Amino acid sequence: MNKSPFRIAIAGLGTVGGGVVKALTARGEELSRRAGRELKLVSVSARDPRKARGYALTGWTADPLELARGEADVVVELIGGDEGIARDLVTLALKNGKHVVTANKALLARHGTELAELAESRGVTLKFEAAAAGGIPILKALREGLIAQPIEAVKGILNGTCNYILTEMESSGRSFAAVLKEAQARGYAEADPTLDVGGGDTAHKLALLSSLAFGTRPDLDSISVEGIEHITPDDIAYAREFGFRIKLLGVTRRVGEGIEQKVHPSMVRQRSPLANVDGAQNGVMVDAGAAGSFFFSGRGAGETPTASAVIADIVEAASETPSPVFGRPARSLTRLVPADAKAAVSPWYLRFEVLDVPGVLALIAGHLAEAGVSIESMIQRGRDPGEPVAIVMITHETAQANVERALKAIAASDKVRSRPCMIPMEAA
């Protein structure tokens, strides 16, 4: 065993940071043997030194930036955010020749290329397995395991909050708002859930998966993002009738000469592995071309799985020669060429809330036909007199732009009572 200890500094002692400290305390000897040298926690920094945490604060430091100037060999950044103190800390640590381990997907989605170039120029490691899908080793698989054949696509359920809400809506028949309120009360959703339910958190993670899969610079701005706020219990029930479940997916794939990146609710066939990822779990499907398809699932958040991913990165940083951050030298990462999202072709689920009057179905069918959208199947049910009725359709494969053009014309009718709903159907 290397006689020199590997000195660790941790910034941020929330759920994940606390889990890392507990793991180092409980399993320090075993983890040190795996690393080939002693793993030694030498300093920590967090907002409140007086908070009861259930463990000692080793080497408390009020200013997180001091961790990057101190004796540590690796700085573990668990503060979060793509700017401010988190970015300053990671940048300073790398400049000072310290390894960095982080779970900060927002930081890397925005600044991953420049931070990777900095780490590689200083000959140190920047590791971030915990930044996407918690304890699932998907980043390692894309960086090191699935490299023999070109990756064609990566599709994933990457946000446990959204998956929990959709699962509960399906099992209970309750509305999005009601289930969200319960999720907040149980700690599954933040007080401000916008980043989760609006798809932003999934987009951060997808930017990293896309970079590793295709050798491109993380490009958050080219991701098309749609959340789950508009999904209704009726949509979920109709999906079940057609043999599908609704999941919020992050999808990145080759389309011609470009890369499509999108976050959106999707209809997934009930027999698909992704359809059977329930509750707060995460799941990722990788299409590795000639090598076949691979599926990864597990807990995507929480103290133990995420801390486990951080610990694994610390052990690797202590025992390995630094390697390219994104699997390729940062300077060789190419600019991502976005595929035309409007040209994306798939079957679509369409739901219309309309007045139950003669001619309304003909109006809808007419606009769809004019846009080149053909219907595979349909459900129409009556309601109480005077109440709007739902017309639900599944289309044949059609370009997104055609469907949107038809829905814009349909929505302009005074017979349509709310914005039409369109959800793509993923072959997953």
- Residue 121: the pLDDT is 96
Question: Is it the case that residue 73 has pLDDT exceeding 90?
Answer: yes
- For the chain, where do the domains classified as CATH 3.30.360.10 start and end? 138-299
Stated as kind and residue range, the H or E segment containing 6 is: strand 2-11
What is the fold of 2-132+305-328? Rossmann fold (3.40.50)
Contact 426, 268 (CB under 8 A): yes
Rounded Cα–Cα distance for residues 43 and 281 (Å): 33
With tokens 């976005």, the residue in question is 338
Q: Is 418 helix (H, G, I), strand (E, B) or coil?
A: coil
CATH 3.40.50.720 domain residues, the chain: 2-132+305-328
Decide if 205 is catalytic: yes
The predicted model gives 324-331 an average pLDDT of: 94
SS3 assignment for 96-124: CCCEEEECCHHHHHHHHHHHHHHHHHHCC
Q: What is the Cα gyration radius of the chain?
A: 24
* 114-128, 192-206, 337-351: range with lowest mean pLDDT: 337-351
pLDDT at position 181 over 70? yes
Active-site residue, from 105, 127, 155, 205: 205
pLDDT at 428 over 70: no
pLDDT band of 85, cuts 50, 70, 90: very high
CATH class of the 138-299 domain in this structure: alpha beta
Q: Is the pLDDT of residue 383 over 70?
A: no
What's the rounded mean pLDDT across residues 344-364?
90
Q: CATH 3.30.70.260 occupies which residues in the chain? A: 344-426
pLDDT value of position 183: 87
State in Å, rounded, how far the first CA of the chain is from the last one.
46
For the entire predicted model, the pTM comes to: 0.92
What token pair was written down for 181?
């309120």
Res. 262: pLDDT tops 80 = yes
User: According to the model, what pLDDT value does residue 407 have?
Assistant: 95
Third-level CATH fold of 344-426: Alpha-Beta Plaits (3.30.70)
Give the pLDDT of residue 56: 76
In this predicted structure, what is the pLDDT of residue 384? Answer: 63
Band of pLDDT at residue 304, cut at 50, 70 and 90: confident
